[in-house]
Chain A
Amino acid sequence: MKVDRRSFLGLGIGAVAGIAVSPVGAKLTDDFSIWTQNWPWTPVPPDGEVSYDRSVCNLCPGSCGITVRKIDGRPVKIEGLDTYPVNDGGVCLHGIAGLQYLYDPSRVKTPLKKVNQRFVPISWDEALAMVTGRLKQLQEDQNPEALACITGSAQGSVPGLFNHFMAAFGSPNCLTMPDLESWLVLTATTLHGPKQTLGFDIDHSDYILSFGAGLIDGWGSPVACIQAMAGRKQREATLVQIEPRLSNTAAGADRWIPVKPGTEADLAMGMCGVLLKENLFDPVFAQGFTGGFMRFTAMVQKEYPLDKVAEVTGVSADDIQKTAIAFAKAKMPVALPGKGRGEGAQSLKEFAAVHTLNCLTGNINKKGGVFVKPLPDYLSFPDPVIDDMAQKGAAAEPLAASVQELMARIDQSDQSPVEVLVVYNANPCFALNDPSRVAAAFEKIPFKVCVSPYMDETAMASDVILPVSTFLEQMEDVPSRAGLAASVVGLARPMVKPVFDTRSPGDVVIALAGALGGGVAQSFPWENYEDCLKQLAGQIWKPLTRKGHVIVSGRPPAGSVETDFSFLAENPDTLKPAGDQEFTLIPIDNFRVPSTVPAPSPFAIKTVSDRILKGTDMFVEINPQSANHLKDGGFATLTTPAGSVRVRVHFNDGIMPGVIGMVKGLGHTLNNRYVSGKGVNINALISPTIEPGSGMDAAYGIRAGISKA
């Protein structure tokens, strides 16, 4: 057919008219626009009945009360619990992010055993049988003391059950990771006698002299401390912050006194000297001074004269004198030890010297002062059934006074004195100084059991992983710790059924004990953990379950306190940061980055500044005055005696010249891409130094060099 002009136009007009009139075009456009508004892959959270449930957060020693908002039983939001005696409605970012830990990609979903360096899922029966088999072997070898146990904290019924197990099994090697509470217990033991701890009534004190304690940076019970600091200005209480870097606490303080890192103990001794010289100590309280007070006085006058202390610490003699006098003349002064969060490597000398300031003012067991209080004893454990072997094993000399010392000892041995190691709720392969040596020590231990909800660095170095529930999935008593004045016990309750094939750690210990038989099994007469907790808690069980918490004591402890000065009178050495390079590298405790267990949540990592972490690069802080040829934001190589890393430089005017600061708690290698592989673990750059008096690692910082990369 020939297409002439007429038919071409006719067809063309017809087509145009047809398309215009036809609904197809409009329909297609409509369909297309609807299609672009469809997001089937975007989740639509199911709606349902709203309910609120209450529990206690167990993520840090803070022990805050929480409420959990649920939709048809599904938890969607965690908030602070009003009127809870620790936090009164307050909460921190880690508690709110608790639900992320529930579904954390690094959660261990089922028991695992290591076969050829890979983890293979196994049943609970098989896992428990593997562990009991190893333990029975130790019993057959008459060598129960070759079992060692590391727990993240010493308080509460679950660490108590681990201790009870160790006692019944017959091993003295049960150790706790160094947290603030363990340092406070050690300090109280050294100065006031055993089985005591310290609580600080900062809510009422009118003069707080903080030796680096990060009161709003996560020290102690973080929310309680932040609340105390928020009310501080209204109370007209003074805060003097002594530390080498302008932390957030220092920025909010009335006065910041920069001090050379690692000389805080000397400064505290110098201030003690001022109080003694000016006769500013409390004569009534001094009646309880025993154990070489005169020797201590003579030693301080001789070894810590003001000009010498001024030179060592970098604080002027005038400042030391004035601050010490202002402290002593305040009505309710409190001196706080524990740099940053107060956990990890600290120093007994420093804790003791700072607390001696409290003892000299006599503001002990008074409102607004320091409470020397007995360790919580609301749990009544039965005496373990101890057979001959257990008795012999328990009488053996403990291998070490601290986890760090134990790891160093194993690392240096040809054959590990520990044959079976149980780790609960602790991550020594990340949180201790020089974790590569800790991992090497782990290699030497024939059998490691990790009782943990997460596949963290320590779990990865273990042979068997027994996955336990998180605090939202189980019942557990949560005693307040970490320097709180009041002693409160809370009850964490299951907010949701266990998401994975996990058990409560208490049940794990009871099952292990039952499978072992003999005296160990007899020491654990409970059906399950809930039954156990009910019996251990005794009289407080009812109020605990009804109210969710019990205030064990809120008032200053009664009775006189004896103070023994013999430890300090010997003038133990102040440990200097190791090495001889130009700078001192110090760890920074950042509120948003937890540095022990658990690792930071994805939300917490999201809030970290891009001047701490950029991509996978880690920043270090340095004062521009001492930065020489370094550039702000530029790359540099940071070298310490323990190692060398590539970092980026962040100029911060608020850090002492000559000091380099690095945030602690980053550089994880666990199986969670939102958290791991980011930055550097500062612990890898610091070699541990065991303090002679305490047996604890006291290496807070190390000498370092930095050069342009």
Chain B
Amino acid sequence: MIHDKKAHKYGMVIDLDKCTGCGTCAVSCMSENNVPFKEDESDKKDSITWMRVYRLTNGRPFPDTEVVYMPRPCQHCGGKGDHGHSPCVSVCPATATDYGYDTGIVSQIYTRCFGCRYCMAACPYHARYFNWWDPVWPEGMEKYLSPNVSPRMRGVVEKCSFCYHRYQLAREKAYVNGTDEVPEADYQTACTTACPAGAIVFGDLNNPSHKVHQIVKPDPHPDPLNPDVVGKSRNPRVFRLLERLGTNPKVYYMSEREWVRKMGDHYLDGEWDKVKNVYGSASHE
């Protein structure tokens, strides 16, 4: 029996100033999770990439141009008020995707999914992908497939699971070792361990001893300006994507550059200057 009743909230923070755009996280993810490939992967709408690396520029002309790369896994949204009503979970008619209240991870059960793709329409982050075709590996190459993640079939949606199988393995290990706690180092996603720049930090946002908590410093109270938003970072360099929607993603981004942080959401003219310094609720700091 696992006696660990503590609610974890697994999440990550990605340092965009460290990210080199090398793509190692994306390939590590594909290799870990048996993600297939096809002859033409240049149509990015149907190219299954649980972890996708976007290129952002500041739009300034030569020579003031700047570029950063933004890796985007599933954001594992907690939904409005962080109650577990993630945009995709709320619309799934088959309960193929669900919110794990013990981990904060948004799951995806492939054999339950019947491919209506409502979740894809609901996801504001384009983190979900549909299998338009059955996966085909070149002859012999299916020998490298991992038994920890089942290969998907035509007609289902898939997405990043925060390498949930690694959590399961870490939990089993903790059980064998006779502890309840899964140590921070035992559960790390494939992208985190692969990143050669160390730009990704993963852990339990609820656990103050975890590095991710120390960097993000999530505010336990709702944002006074927008009560749907919970867990806003109290680190002035940290932001989330489309934070004001109230989806409450568990993937945080970090940058010293203001233009990068501004790219995290859509702002009306002049609005950014009013909100840019409102990090969390100042009253709780």
Contact = CB atoms under 8 A, between A and B. Distances in A.
Contact of A614 (B42, B65, B152): B42
B231 to A, nearest CB: 27
Contacts of B24: 91-93, 96
Interface string A54-85: 00000000000000010100111111100000
A307 B123 CA distance: 57
B194 interface: yes
A656 B153 contact: no
User: Chain B interface residue count: which class?
Assistant: 35 or more
Nearest to A593: B23
Interface string A39-56: 101111111100000000
A654 B32 contact: no
A42 B39 CA distance: 18
Interface in B141-181: 141-147, 150-154
B67 interface: yes
A229 B55 contact: no
B224 interface: no
> Which of the listed residues A105, A653, A655 has the most CB atoms from chain B within 10 Å of its own CB?
A653
Given A251-B68, A674-B39, A91 B194 contact: yes
A138 B126 CA distance: 64
Nearest to A78: B31
B31 A103 contact: no
A229 B196 CA distance: 10
Contacts of B38: 674
B265 interface: no
A104 B55 CA distance: 29
Contacts of A637: none
B4 interface: no
Given A93-B23, A233-B17, A609-B55, A103 B28 contact: no
Contacts of B55: 609, 611
B193 A79 contact: yes
A608 interface: yes
Contact of A230 (B65, B138, B199): B199
B22 A96 contact: no
Contact of B197 (A78, A229, A499): A229
State the majority secondary structure of interface residues on B. Answer: loop
Contacts of B182: none
A93 B197 contact: no
A603 B30 contact: yes
A592 B23 contact: yes
Contact of A606 (B28, B49, B138, B196): B49
Given A226-B196, A230-B199, A674-B37, A45 B65 contact: no
A48 B27 contact: no
Interface string B131-146: 0001101111111111
Given A76-B146, A603-B31, A226 B197 contact: yes
B196 A223 contact: yes
A131 to B, nearest CB: 28
A18 interface: no
Given A93-B22, A216-B22, A603-B30, A99 B144 contact: yes
Interface stretch (B56-64, B83-91, B239-247, B273-281): B56-64
Contact of B41 (A100, A103, A606): A606
B23 A226 contact: no
Interface string A599-635: 0001111111111011100000001110000000000
A70 to B, nearest CB: 10
A419 B74 CA distance: 58
A251 B67 contact: yes
Given A78-B31, A592-B23, A246 B42 contact: no
B226 interface: no
Nearest to B25: A93
Contacts of A624: 61
A102 B144 contact: yes
A607 B146 CA distance: 21
A499 B134 contact: no
Interface in B87-112: 111
A93 B27 contact: yes
Contacts of A74: 143-144
Contact of B39 (A46, A80, A96, A673): A673
A90 B20 CA distance: 13
Interface string B1-27: 000000000000000011011111011
Contact of A96 (B28, B140, B146): B28
A625 B61 contact: yes
A653 B150 contact: no
B44 A610 contact: yes
B43 interface: yes
Contacts of A97: 27, 31
A250 to B, nearest CB: 9
Contacts of B53: 607
A357 B26 CA distance: 39
Given A248-B67, A623-B62, A654-B62, A103 B138 contact: yes
Interface in B183-219: 193-199
Contacts of A223: 196
Given A653-B60, A674-B37, A610 B43 contact: yes
A618 to B, nearest CB: 11
A264 to B, nearest CB: 17
Nearest to A94: B27
Contacts of A611: 55
Nearest to A41: B134
Contact of A602 (B18, B21, B37): B37
B271 interface: no
B62 A230 contact: no
A252 interface: yes
B31 A77 contact: yes
A258 B63 CA distance: 8
B40 A615 contact: yes
Given A43-B151, A230-B198, A613-B42, A248 B142 contact: no
A251 B16 CA distance: 12
A246 B65 contact: yes
Contact of B18 (A230, A591, A603, A609): A230
Given A606-B30, A615-B42, A252 B147 contact: no
B102 to A, nearest CB: 25
Interface in A224-239: 226-227, 229-230, 233
A226 B47 CA distance: 27
Contacts of B144: 74-76, 99-100, 102-103
Contacts of A102: 144
B235 interface: no
Interface in A650-681: 652-657, 673-674, 678
Contacts of A609: 55
Contacts of B47: 606
B196 A92 contact: yes
Most chain B C-beta atoms within 10 Å of own C-beta, residue among A42, A71, A607: A607
17 contacts: A37-B111, A46-B147, A47-B147, A48-B147, A80-B193, A80-B194, A90-B195, A96-B27, A103-B138, A246-B67, A248-B21, A251-B67, A607-B23, A610-B42, A611-B55, A654-B65, A656-B62
Interface of A: 37, 39, 41-48, 69, 71, 74-80, 87, 89-93, 96-97, 99-100, 102-105, 216-217, 222-223, 226-227, 229-230, 233, 246, 248, 251-252, 256, 258, 499, 591-592, 602-611, 613-615, 623-625, 652-657, 673-674, 678
Given A45-B34, A90-B196, A93-B28, 6 more contacts: A44-B150, A74-B143, A80-B194, A592-B22, A602-B37, A610-B42
